[in-house]
Structure 1
Amino acid sequence: MENNTDRGPAAWLVEVAEFRTDSRYRLVRFEGVGWEPLAPEEFEPRVHEHFPDLDPHDPAKVHWADRPWEWPAWRPGEA
């Protein structure tokens, strides 16, 4: 399931890769910067660092490959 409009990758400023259970992070691509792994608490601050006026909930500019706003389960002490 995708949560974006008819716009494609050229319109996305932020792209979040598919959900994976083998890592606590999700890969996030920022336009003009590239991909980086982010934990849930890092996502919104990083979005605002790169794009101060961007609403992270804007599906026209922020694309989730699947499972929007979900991160793999992780407990402190796990690698």
Structure 2
Amino acid sequence: MTHDDATDTVLIEVAEFRTDSRYRLVHFRGTGWEPLAPEELEPRARQLFPDLDPHDPIRVHWADRPWEWPAWHPGEA
């Protein structure tokens, strides 16, 4: 293991964008996959990884469309 391996580890992986759900599946290392709404990602990331910057492109990997969620309006299923 080189000295960079620990800092290059992906801790959060966000699955691909889907239009049939208001959520995106998010994988937290050591925890598993969770469906999260946009307002839930940063608080959950800070809960699990208090020192992590959720905008760190090395530690947080987005399959596509970083920081985008499907359009959703209250009252929709």
Q: How many residues align?
A: 71
Q: Which has the higher contact order (CA 8 A, sep 6+)?
A: 1
RMSD: 1.4
Q: Flag the structure with larger Rg.
A: 2
Structure-1-length-normalised TM-score = 0.86
Query: Sequence identity of aligned pairs in percent?
Result: 77
TM-score (norm 2): 0.89
Q: Report the Cα distance in structure 2 between the residues aligned to 1:12 and 1:45, rounded to whole angstroms.
A: 18
Q: Which runs of 5+ in 1 are unaligned?
A: 1-6
What's the offset of the Cα at 1:32?
A: 0.1
Per-residue CA deviation, residues 26-60 of structure 1 (Å, 9 max, x unaligned), is 00000000000000000100000100110001011
Separation (CA, whole Å) in 1 of partners of 2:45 and 2:26: 10
